[in-house]
Amino acid sequence: MPMNVLDVENVSASHNGTLAINKISFSVKEGDLLGIVGPNGAGKTTLFRAILGLQNYQGKIRLFGYEGSQYAALLPMVGYVPQKVSFESNFPATVFDVVGMGLLPKKKLQRGVALIQGCGCNWNRIFGESSKNTEKIGKALEIVGLEHLRDRRISELSGGEQQRTFIASALVKEPVLLILDEPVTGVDMEVQNKFYSVIRKINKENKITIIWASHDLTAISDYATKVACMNRDLFFHGEKEEFFSNKDLLKTYSESAMQMHMHNHSHEV
């Protein structure tokens, strides 16, 4: 029986004074690729920020059953790729520099690994224990297919390449859980498909548990193993097949996703 990587219990949080998530409860099991769907403003980002300790909330959140200081010690082992990373447009950092930012200091990594192994988790480290930092960066870039761009400045890359760089930066820390917040919004189909195959690869081969917010129901149906549906409240959390066979739920979220899609495209045009 796979263990719980994340437990969210009755979590409520506000964004700019308005209730953004209301008493949400769900668990994520080891090896899950959980797709979270919901319209814009549904509270997905607020939920992620609460999990990451960037947002005040009521309720309980546990990582591998840990709370408090142990939770804080495990937090650096969570990889996070936000919808958009805003950085100074001519920031003099190469792809190599940016990926390297994700590296954890040895002590932090050892403490995180000890906590995870201490609770009997089957998690495999992506990189060998004796891997040097430059090897880790190289391998993370290889996973996302960007090794040829390692010396290019991040600002010279396309949106899709930048997002893959941020994923590599999240991978280099050897995450046990990867949180992706609408990572391919505004990126063309080809890059999206490449991106999805990377997600599947790291989930299957590296056994990394992934939570992934998206408006793309087709991608969720193709790649996710579980689905959660939210719009301030959590409406559904369960197996993908169950979600896609529930016509009412599907209709509601297909419509909102379609509206989003049209909205994005009208902006692109």
Partner 1 sequence: MVLDFLAYGFMQRALVTGTAAAVCCAMIGLYLVLKRYSLFGDALSHMAFGGIALGYFLNIYPIWTATAVSVSAAMGITKIRKSTKISGDAAVAVMLSSGLGMGVILVSASHGFTIDLFSFLFGSVLLTNVSDTLSFIAISCGIIATLVIFRKPLLHFTFDEEQAKVNGVPVEKLNYLFIALAAVTVIITMRLVGILLISALIVLPNITAMMMGKGFKKTMLISISLSVAATTLGIVLSYPLNLAPSGSIVMILVAMYVGTLLVKQMGLFSRKTIVQEIQ
Residues at the site binding partner 1, with contacts judged by CB under 8 A: 52-54, 72-73, 75-76, 78, 80, 82, 85-88, 90-94, 96-98, 100-104, 108, 151, 153, 156, 169, 173
Smaller CB distance to partner 1: residue 53 or 128? 53
Q: How far is the CB of 14 from partner 1 (least distance, A)?
A: 16
Question: What's the gap between Cα 101 and its chain centre?
Answer: 17
With 0-12 / 13-18 / 19 or more C-beta atoms within 10 angstroms meaning exposed / middle / buried, residue 15 is: middle
| 3-state DSSP percent of the chain in helix, strand and coil, to 5 | 45, 25, 30
CB of 89 to partner 1, least distance (A): 11
Q: Of the two residues 156 and 239, which places its CB atom closer to partner 1 in the complex?
A: 156
Q: Least Å distance between CB 85 and partner 1?
A: 6
Task: Output DSSP code: residue 106.
Answer: H
In the bound complex, what is the minimum distance in angstroms from residue 258's beta carbon to partner 1?
31
Looking at beta carbons only, is 67 or 242 nearer to partner 1?
A: 67
CB of 235 to partner 1, least distance (A): 28
* Residues written for the chain: 269
CB of 229 to partner 1, least distance (A): 26
Apex CA 70: angle with CA 164 and CA 140, to 5°? Answer: 20
**Angle in degrees, CA 44, 208, 109, rounded to 5:** 100
Give the amino acid at 138: G
CA torsion, points 247, 20, 180, 228, in degrees to nearest 10? -30
Nearer to partner 1, 91 or 255 (CB): 91
Which residue, 43 or 219, is less far from partner 1 as judged by CB?
43
- Lateral strand order in the sheet of 226-231: 78-81, 177-181, 209-213, 33-37, 226-231, 233-239
Q: Between residues 82 and 237, which has the closer beta carbon with respect to partner 1?
A: 82
